[in-house]
Copies of this chain bind each other. A is one copy, B any other.
Amino acid sequence: MHLLSTKDLSKDYIEKIMAKAGEMEAYALKKKQSDMMKGKILAALFYEPSTRTRLSFETAMLRLGGQVISVADAQSSSLAKGESLEDTAKIVSQYADIIAVRHPEIGSSKKMAEGSSVPVINAGDGAGDHPTQALLDLYTIIKEKGQVDGLTVTLSGDLKNSRTANSLIYLLANYDVKFKFLAPEELKMKDEVKKFLSEKGLSFEETSSVEDGLSGTDVLYATRVQRERFKDAGEYEKLKDSFIFNRALLEKHNPKMLILHALPRVNEISKDVDDMPGAAYFRQASNGVSVRMALISLLLA
C-alpha cells in the first residue's frame, strides 16, 4: 500500500492514522524511545529541496529505531539523468523498505509507486498533493480543538496553487466543516475543488475581503501570496498587505482562533501573533513527526 493523495483516504483510514499518531506522540516529543523499525530503511528521495519535510521524515524513521538513505538534491544527482521514475523505483525499492518522494511533477509519486516493490509516500508532487502535510494539519486541528465537526475553517492566500490547502480540503471533506476561501481574485480556489465540495454537499463561501473571510473563523490556514503569481505588479502591491495577519486583526475576530501555516513563514503572519494561544504553526513540527511515524508504521505493518 502507498500514500499518494488525500483523495484516496477513507474516513476510517484517516482515523486510524490519527489514532496511531497519538500513540507516536510520546516518541516524537522525545519522551520515549523505540526500536519498532529496527533494521528497516527509509529512502528519502527529494528531487527538489525541502529541508523541513525531509528532516521530518528522517526524524520519524530514526525515532522509530530505523535507518535512512537520502537524496537531498536530486538535481545534481544521477537520478535526474533521463531515467524513468518507474526504473528508479525498481532499483531503490530493492535498497529500502519504504520510500518518501518529493518531486516537482504532478503524478510523480504515482509513477514511482508503479515501479516500486515497497510502499511509497508522496512527500509533495508539484502543484498536486502533499498528503502528509495535510494529515499533520488535521492532527493539529484535532489536538488543539478537540474535534473537527462543526468548525469553520478559513483557508487564505494563494488557494489556486497551494497543494497543501488542496490536500487538506479533501481530508476535511470527511467531516462536517464549513469552508471559507479567502483569496484575491487572481488566486481563487480551483473549480475542481469547489465542484467536489458541492457534490459532497459541503458548504463553502468565497471572498476576497479579509474582514469577511475572518469573521466566524475557528481555524485559519494561511498560505503565502507570492508576487510571481500576479501578471500585474501593481495588483500585487495593492493586495499583499491585506494578506498579512497581525495580532490585533486576528484577536478582533476570535482570540482563540487556531492559526496554522505551512512554513516557512516570511511575513504573512506577524511576529506578534506567535504568542497567541492558538498560534500552532511551530507546534505543528512535532505533530509532523508523530504523523509520519504513524504512516511509516501503518504502511510497513
User: Is B282's CB under 8 angstroms from A90's CB?
Assistant: yes
Cβ contact within 8 Å between A39 and B43: no
In the complex where A30-B97, A59-B69 touch, is A78 in contact with B264 (Cβ < 8 A)?
yes
- Given A83-B266, A282-B90, the answer on whether A62 and B69 have CB atoms closer than 8 Å is yes
The complex places the Cα of A43 from the Cα of B59 at a distance, in Å, of 10
What's the least CB distance linking A276 to chain B, in Å?
15
Tell me whether A216 is interfacial, beta carbon within 8 Å.
no
Report the stretch among A12-20, A45-53, A104-112 that lies at the interface: A45-53
Contact of A285 among B58, B72, B91 (CB under 8 A): B91
Neighbouring B residues of A71 by C-beta, 8 Å: 51, 55, 72
Check B33–A38 contact: CB distance below 8 A: yes
Taking CB atoms, residues of chain B closer than 8 Å to A43 are: 55
> By the criterion CB–CB under 8 Å, are A265 and B87 in contact?
yes
A contact residues, range: 35 or more
**Chain B residues with Cβ under 8 A from A95's Cβ?**
55-56, 59, 285, 289
Q: How far is the CA of A55 from the CA of B39 in the complex (A)?
A: 16
A150, B26: Cα distance in complex, Å: 53
Contact of A90 with B285 in the complex, beta carbons under 8 Å: yes
Interfacial chain B residues near A50, Cβ < 8 Å: 78
Q: Does A296 contact B (CB under 8 A)?
A: no
Contacts of A72 in B (CB 8 A): 71-73, 77
Pick the contact of A87: B67, B87, B263 (CB < 8 A).
B263
* Contact call B67/A51, Cβ cutoff below 8 A: no
Q: Is A79 an interface residue (CB 8 A)?
A: yes
Instruction: Identify which of A62, A73, A95 gathers the most chain B CB atoms within 10 Å of its CB.
Output: A95
Give A90 to B279 CA distance when docked, in angstroms: 13
> CB within 8 A of A39: which of B33, B69, B282?
B33
Residue ID in chain B nearest A90 by CB atoms: B282
When distances are taken between beta carbons in the complex, the residues of chain B under 8 Å from A69 are 55, 58-59, 62
Interface string of A61-86 (1 = CB under 8 A from B): 01100010101111111110111000
* A59: chain B residues within 8 A (beta carbon): 41, 69, 95-96
Cβ of A6 within 8 Å of any chain B Cβ, yes or no, is no
Which chain B residue shows the least CB distance to A65?
Answer: B39
Please report the C-alpha to C-alpha distance between residue A76 and residue B282 in the assembled complex, in whole angstroms.
23
Of the candidates A67, A83, A92, the one having the most CB atoms from chain B within 10 angstroms of its own CB is: A67
Tell me whether B265 and A92 are in contact (CB under 8 A). no
Q: Which of B51, B265, B282, B285 touches A77 (beta carbons < 8 Å)?
A: B51
Return 16 A-B CB contacts under 8 Å, by A number.
A30-B97, A33-B38, A41-B59, A41-B62, A49-B76, A49-B77, A49-B78, A51-B74, A51-B77, A59-B95, A59-B96, A62-B67, A72-B77, A81-B266, A87-B264, A91-B263
A-B CB proximity, top 3 nearest: A83-B264, A33-B39, A94-B285
